[in-house]
């Protein structure tokens, strides 16, 4: 009994020591260049406002229809619920009492003003790459946001994920703070794109798979967005959303307007375009496109597609539904009328192994974002109230196996899984 108690005490002591070591201030904390870097000057505020748009800060820190940056938006993760905090200038419930160093420490080191370790639902694993000058400009802008008092909503994480020592261990394994360092073998444009994609843009937060502990896997190879129930396609595989055979202007059009000759964005990416990327300068979006287009290709082997009389019946039923509900816009040949009626023939969004996105679009409709470059977007109506699970499974299977497309069939169980899932 005494030995067991000693072992447990040793484990607890080790965990406490680990927490202290990980929570201790980092030696790489960069001092502010000068008080002028975060002073409330028009130039600093304008720059910070631009960077806040580039980082899409409002998306998480604002509830639908709520006060901007007042927090309260909940994200349901495999580990429990995380609630975004108030980041208005209110001194009690927001960050109005924070210093520029406090703000930098949150972005760069993932630590709150009181020393608590922040959960990586706040993507400090990407924001750590942001320069101190940009962090200071963001701070200057955040101080201009009108204060809004709101009660802090606690996270609802399951044990032991709600313990700081567990988070300390996670950080030891999966987080190393460090500002982006230019690759001297690449152009200034390429480096600017890498800085935005890897840092403020935090593209890996969605476009990377996560391991069992919630850490992003290496690269932008695609993955399920666990908090939203959509699949963010690989940006390195031409079988998904790889951009190797795209022209840079086509990528820029898609990111800034939501539509291009090649594709249209829907779902969570439509929100990113509407609230963030359309406000980013053409030069910066072009830099992002150059960087994304340069990523080394990586693709999984194509999935096997079943054949036989039963498959033929499913596809025949799907074709009937397509002709009745879809053909008027997308055409008998599946070529559509881009960009407003996207082509289905050769559409990689349809043929990815994960069929969740086309299922959700048929269920709930597909809506491109309203942007300055696409002020009156066309939308696809929802069919959840018109078609059964089996009918939707059959028509999506037909889309995935027509006009040269080849992908596994969809089942009614897959459709039913997402019928009741919220849009965001």
225: domain CATH number is 1.10.760
Residue 90: closest CA among 128, 145, 155, 20:
145
Do 354 and 248 share a domain, yes or no?
no
**Same structural domain for residues 195 and 109?**
no
* CA diameter of the chain: 78
Angle 223-123-170 (CA atoms, 0-180°, nearest 5)? 85
* Stated length of the chain: 424
Examine residue 304 and state whether it is found in any structural domain, yes or no: no
Compute CA 175 distance to the chain's CA centroid, rounded to the nearest angstrom: 18
Nearest to 30 by CA among 129, 119, 117: 129
In a domain, 6, yes or no: no
Statement to judge: residues 143 and 256 lie in one domain: no
Q: 221 in a domain, yes or no?
A: yes
Which residue has tokens 């997402």? 418
Residue 375 belongs to domain with CATH number: 1.10.760.10
pLDDT-flagged residues of the chain (< 70): 1-33, 299-303, 421-424
Tokens at 170, concatenated: 């996670």
What whole-number percentage of the chain has pLDDT above 70?
A: 90
CA dist., res. 295 & res. 158, Å (int): 37
**Residues 36 and 153 both lie in one domain:** yes
Q: Quick one: three-class SS letters along the chain?
A: CHHHHHHHHHHHHHHHHHHHHHHCCCCCCCCCCCHHHCCCCHHHHHHHHHHHHHCCHHHHHECCCCCCCCECCEEEECCEEEECCCCCCCCCCCCCCCCHHHHHHHHHHCECCCCCECCCCCCHHHHCCCCHHHHHHHHHHHCCCCCCCCCCCCCEECCCCCCHHHHHHHHHHHCCCCCCCCCCCCCHHHHHHHHHHHHHCCCHHHHECECCCCCECCCCCEEEECCCCEEECCCCCCCCCCCCCCCHHHHHHHHHHCECCCCECCCHHHHHHHHCHHHCCHHHHHHHHHHHHHCCCCCCCCCCCCCCHHHHHHHHHHHHHHHHHCHHHHCCCCCCECCCECCCCCCHHHHCCCCHHHHHHHHHCEECCCECCECCCCEECCCCCCCCHHHHHHHHHHHCCCCCCCCCCCCHHHHHHHHCCCCC
Q: Has residue 362 been placed in a domain?
A: yes
- 153 and 267 fall within a common domain: no
Decide which of 113, 147, 174 is a domain's last residue.
174
pLDDT digits (tens, 9 = 90+) for 123-147: 999 999 999 999 999 999 999 999 9
Closest Cα to residue 296, out of 357, 237, 247?
A: 237
How many domains does the chain fold into? 3
Q: Are 168 and 194 part of one and the same domain? A: no
Q: Is 4 within a domain?
A: no
0.85 exceeded by the pTM? yes
303 φ, ψ (degrees, to nearest 5)? -75, 150
Backbone phi, psi, residue 83, to 5°:
-115, 125
pLDDT at 6: 45
Residues 170 and 273 in one domain: no
On whether both 54 and 167 belong to a single domain, the answer is yes
As given in the structure block, the two tokens for residue 92 are 């009690």
Q: Do the Cβ atoms of 75 and 60 come closer than 8 Å?
A: yes
Are 120 and 213 part of one and the same domain?
no
In a domain, 181, yes or no: no
Contact criterion met (CB below 8 Å) for 169 and 114: no
**Are 314 and 401 in the same domain?**
yes
Distance spanning both ends of the chain, measured CA to CA: 51
- List residues bridging with 117 in a β-sheet: 111
Out of 234, 266, 294, a domain closes at 294
What mean pLDDT value characterizes the chain? 89
- Residue 149 to residue 70: CA distance in whole angstroms: 8
- Domain membership of residue 23 (yes or no) is no
Domain boundary among 294, 319, 352: 294
Both 110 and 204 in one domain: the answer is no
Q: Which of 407, 403, 313, 308 is nearest to 358 (CA)?
A: 407
Whether residue 198 sits in one domain with residue 330: no
- What range does the domain containing 118 cover? 28-174
Structural domain includes residue 314: yes
């Amino acid at each position: 009994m005494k030995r067991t108690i000693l072992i447990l005490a040793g484990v607890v002591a080790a965990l406490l020591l680990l927490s202290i070591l990980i929570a201790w201030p980092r030696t790489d904390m960069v001092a502010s260049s000068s008080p002028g870097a975060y002073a409330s000057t028009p130039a600093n505020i304008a720059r910070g406002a631009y960077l806040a748009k580039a980082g899409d800060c409002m998306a998480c820190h604002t509830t639908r229809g709520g006060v901007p940056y007042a927090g309260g938006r909940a994200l349901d993760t495999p580990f429990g619920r995380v609630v975004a905090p108030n980041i208005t200038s209110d001194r009690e419930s927001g960050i109005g009492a924070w210093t520029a160093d406090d703000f930098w420490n949150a972005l760069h080191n993932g630590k709150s003003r009181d020393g608590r370790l922040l959960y990586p639902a706040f993507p400090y694993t990407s924001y750590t790459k942001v320069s101190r000058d940009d962090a200071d400009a963001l701070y200057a802008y955040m101080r201009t946001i009108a204060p809004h008092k709101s009660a802090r909503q606690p996270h609802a994480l399951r044990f032991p994920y709600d313990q700081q020592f567990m988070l300390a261990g996670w950080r030891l394994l999966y987080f190393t703070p460090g500002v982006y360092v230019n690759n001297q073998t690449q152009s200034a444009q390429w480096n600017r794109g890498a800085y935005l994609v890897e840092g403020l843009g935090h593209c890996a937060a969605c476009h990377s798979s996560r391991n069992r502990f919630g850490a992003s896997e290496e690269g932008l190879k695609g993955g399920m967005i666990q908090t939203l129930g959509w699949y963010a396609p690989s940006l390195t595989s031409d079988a998904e959303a790889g951009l190797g055979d795209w022209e840079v202007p086509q990528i820029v059009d898609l990111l800034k307007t939501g539509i291009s000759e090649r594709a249209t964005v829907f779902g969570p990416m439509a929100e990113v375009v509407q609230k963030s990327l359309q406000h980013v300068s053409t030069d910066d979006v072009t830099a992002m496109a150059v960087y994304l287009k340069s990523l080394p290709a990586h693709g999984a082997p194509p999935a096997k597609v079943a054949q036989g009389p039963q498959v033929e019946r499913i596809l025949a039923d799907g074709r009937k539904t397509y002709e009745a509900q879809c053909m008027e816009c997308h055409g008998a040949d599946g070529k559509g009328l881009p960009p407003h009626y996207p082509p289905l023939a050769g559409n990689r969004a349809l043929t990815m192994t994960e069929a969740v996105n086309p299922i959700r679009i048929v269920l709930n409709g597909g809506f491109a974002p309203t942007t300055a470059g696409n002020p009156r977007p066309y939308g696809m109506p929802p069919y959840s109230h018109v078609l059964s699970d089996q009918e939707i499974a059959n028509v999506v299977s037909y889309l995935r196996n027509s006009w040269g497309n080849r992908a596994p069939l969809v089942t009614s169980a897959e459709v039913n899984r997402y019928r009741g899932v919220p849009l965001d």
